[in-house]
Amino acid sequence: MAGEASRPRTGPSRDAAGAGTAPVSESPAQPPRSRKHRELLSLTLPGCWGALLFACLSFTPSLLPRGGILQGLICGINAALGYGAGVLAAWLWRAFADREPRPARRKSWTVFLLGAVFLFGLFFGFGQYWQHQIRQLMGVTHYNVPLAVVSPLIAALVFCLLLLAARGIRALYRRLVRLLRRWIGPRAAAAVGWAAVAALVWALVTGLLLNGLVTLANDAFSLRDTTTEEGAHRPTTTLRSGGPGSLVPWDTLGLQGRNFTGTGPSTTQIERFTGRAAQEPVRSYAGLESADSAEARAAKAVDDLTRQGGFQRKNLLVVTTTGSGWVDPACVDTFEYLSGGDSATIAMQYSYLPSWLSYLVDQTKAREAGRALFDAVYDDWSKLPPRHRPRLFVAGESLGSFGGETAFSGEYDLRNRTAGTLFAGPPAFNTLFREFSDHRDAGSPEIQPVYKDGRTVRFATDPAAQIPPSDRPWKGSRVLYLMHSSDPIVWWSPRLVHSKPDWIGQHPGEDVLKQMVWLPLVTFWQVTADLPFATGVPSGHGHTYTTEYVDAWNTVMRPPDMSAHQLDRLKDIIAVGK
């Protein structure tokens, strides 16, 4: 770890940070291999205190409930970070104190062991209590007690693996420095050796490891993309891509494209909900295999939309998908029910990867897809006579909201070129979302900001409640951001490493524990660990958006004569369909 530099190994095992390992009895000189093994397995007292502190802090509450395996991973990673921090802090103190390292006393190790048992047990108990409270807030009933019990063992294993990896890197650095000293001075050798090892580790992690995993995942999910899920059937209507006369063949739509065009509410179901005659909704889609580039796929999807008569419908929705081309059925189904079927929806795929992987590596593709699709639709839409243009809406969830934003320059552009916009679960790195949130009106909280008195853009954690500022007019095109206060996708940011966000310091949302606090490094890793499990909680929490779309679309579209009873019925329909 940092600070454990090369030093003499005479006498008791010494701590590079200023305190050694537990004292051992004197014995004859050990062979070099034995000394290396002892050094590899030794622990420093300052590092152990740092590891204990960070391990205990890992039990503090985060946004989502955690199982035993995840808690063990977080605890192990935090312990490794704490060990490194402890070693580095002691090394810096020794440097300023200008003294040599010395072994720790046996009494010091006894105090540490007693303190470790007490503190770890205390925080482990508090952690279980906090997790119970979070599960209650979200209505989560499943909890695996045996995994919770073995989580400390998982943490210990993770800690040891990370510590061994770090010491392996240190050994490589030392060997390289010794080699370089044959040709250059000691200081230059140390500097060059550190830079070379750092570059090698970075290249391995970001190049070989990350890119290799992404390539393997891309190959695996590309095979899955050729399948069709149960319940999705090839359309028999000309109003769907992949159906009779479609310009986009069924086998090029991809898994999510076939789900999108092969499912959805029928005319009969819509009529049963509205109580009056309805139309069959139009759905246009282009998959990765439909064309070679984002621009070409967008053009093909728009051509198919034109063939279907989508521009003659009253309502036209442009959806930017998540990575694998997924369109949330709750979003589009709600749009079609509220429009009485007099609607057309267009979307396209830009990746094989699932949402959470695309979130990390496919942001550029999402940006290109969002801009290409909207521009292609808008180009044909703007050429229509004003009285014959459908109301143009835009939507996107998660990474889809990121891609959907890129077609617009700001608030006025959204208002002038759309009839309404609905973005759900926007990632923290969304350009416009950050602009609206960071420049919110004074006094408004980050979990539900108010921007420019809410004249165009508003934010809702619960769209069924009043959306602030409720006392101000909301005329013209409405832009609504739907986001849960417990959604890690919305709040995750690298800035969590070193900066306390406003959403933690202010009044938390209804499903976030008041005991959640910001801690350097710790909070970042906790929220990071929440990301892959963001959709593993009931609707209304985390990154799971379903029935909220009913009130959200009702607010944005403003359909006439829609009663509260009808909205409740539609929520039941959407919940069952999900």
**Could you write out the DSSP letters of every residue in 271-290?**
HHHHSS---PPEEEEE-GGG
407 and 468 share a domain? yes
The DSSP result for 422-479, as a single string, is: EEES--TT-HHHHHHHHTPPTT--TTS---GGGSSEEEES-TTSPPSSTTS---SSEE
Give the span between the Cα atoms of 503 and 497, in whole angstroms. Answer: 15
Structure-block tokens of residue 84: 């490194």
**Residue 203 DSSP code:** I
**Cα separation of the two ends of the chain:** 48
What does the block give as tokens for 104? 């720790």
User: How many domains in the chain?
Assistant: 2
28 neighbors 36 (Cβ within 8 angstroms): no
Q: Say how far residue 528 (Cα) sits from the centre of its chain.
A: 7
Does residue 540 fall inside a structural domain? no
Instruction: Let me know: does 54 contact 85? Beta carbons within 8 Å.
Output: yes
Residue 498 lies in a domain: no
The answer on 570 and 456 residing in a single domain is: yes
Q: Are residues 333 and 206 in the same domain?
A: no
Same domain, 51 and 106: yes
Nearest Cα neighbor of 401 from 434, 433, 444, 435 is: 433
Closest-CA residue to 488 (of 362, 369, 398):
398
Side chain identity at residue 285, one-letter code: Y
Helices (H), 340-425: 355-361, 363-382, 399-405, 411-417
Residue 106 resides in a domain: yes
Q: How many CA atoms lie within 13 A of 204 on its CB side?
A: 7
319: in domain: yes
Domain boundary among 170, 192, 221: 221
Residues 375, 339 share a domain: yes
pLDDT of residue 216: 63
Which amino acid type is present at position 437?
Answer: S
- Dihedral (CA of 318, 323, 326, 328) sign: negative
Residue 446's nearest CA partner among 478, 493, 395 is 493
Whether residue 267 sits in one domain with residue 204 = no
Task: Tell whether 467 is covered by a domain.
Answer: yes
Final residue in a domain of this structure, among 190, 221, 252: 221
Cα→Cα distances 376→230, 306, 495, Å? 32, 12, 36
Residue 168: exposed, middle, or buried by beta-carbon count in 10 A (0-12, 13-18, 19+)? Answer: exposed
519: in domain: no
Q: Are residues 212 and 93 in the same domain?
A: yes
Give me the residues paired with residue 320 across strands: 396
Q: Are 543 and 484 in contact (CB under 8 A)?
A: yes
pLDDT score at 364: 83
Where does a domain end: 201, 221, 241?
221
Q: Is residue 392 part of a domain?
A: yes
- The letter for the amino acid at 40 is L
Comparing C-alpha atoms, which of 539, 543, 569 is closest to residue 338? 569
**Distances from the Cα of 93 to the Cα of 54, 101, 103, angstroms:** 20, 11, 15
Pairing of strands 282-286, 315-320: unpaired
Say yes or no: 45 and 169 in one domain.
yes
Instruction: Enter the tokens of residue 215.
Output: 């390539």
Per-residue tens of pLDDT for the chain, all 578 residues: 444 433 334 444 444 434 444 444 444 455 555 555 555 557 899 999 999 999 999 999 999 999 899 999 999 999 999 999 999 998 888 888 878 777 888 899 999 999 999 999 999 999 999 999 999 999 888 888 888 899 999 999 999 999 998 888 888 888 888 888 888 888 888 888 888 888 888 777 666 556 666 666 655 656 667 778 888 899 999 999 999 999 999 999 999 999 999 999 999 999 999 999 999 999 999 999 999 999 999 999 999 999 999 999 999 999 999 878 999 999 999 999 999 999 999 999 998 776 666 666 667 888 999 999 999 999 999 999 999 999 999 999 999 999 999 999 999 999 999 999 999 999 999 999 999 999 999 999 999 999 999 999 999 999 999 899 989 999 999 999 999 999 999 999 999 999 999 998 777 788 899 889 898 888 998 898 898 889 889 999 999 999 999 999 999 999 998 999 999 999 999 998 75
Residue with token string 């992690």: 205
- From CA 232, how far away is CA 22, in angstroms rounded? 64
Q: Which two tokens stand for residue 510?
A: 């209804």
**Residue (of 88, 53, 56, 58) closest to 525 by Cα position:** 58
Give helix then strand counts, H and E, for the chain.
Answer: 21, 7
C-alpha 480/C-alpha 395 separation (Å) is 10
476 exposed, middle or buried (CB, 10 Å; 0-12, 13-18, 19+)?
exposed
> Which is nearest to 402 in space by CA: 448, 378, 433?
433
Question: Does residue 424 sit within a domain?
Answer: yes
Q: For residue 218, which phi and psi values (nearest 5 degrees)?
A: -65, -40
Residues 165 and 295 in one domain: no
Kindly state the helix (H) or strand (E) to which residue 480 belongs, with its residue range.
strand 478-482
* Domain limits for position 286: 229-484+545-577
CA distance 487 to 496: 15
Q: Do residue 62 and residue 174 come from a single domain? A: yes
- Say if residue 90 is in the same domain as residue 144: yes
pLDDT recorded at residue 18: 40
Instruction: Retrieve residue 381's tokens.
Output: 């839409």
478 and 351 co-located in one domain: yes
**Per-residue model confidence (pLDDT) at position 185:** 86
How confident is the model at residue 169, as a pLDDT?
87
Instruction: Using DSSP bridges, classify how beta strands 315-320 and 457-460 pair: parallel, antiparallel or unpaired.
Output: unpaired
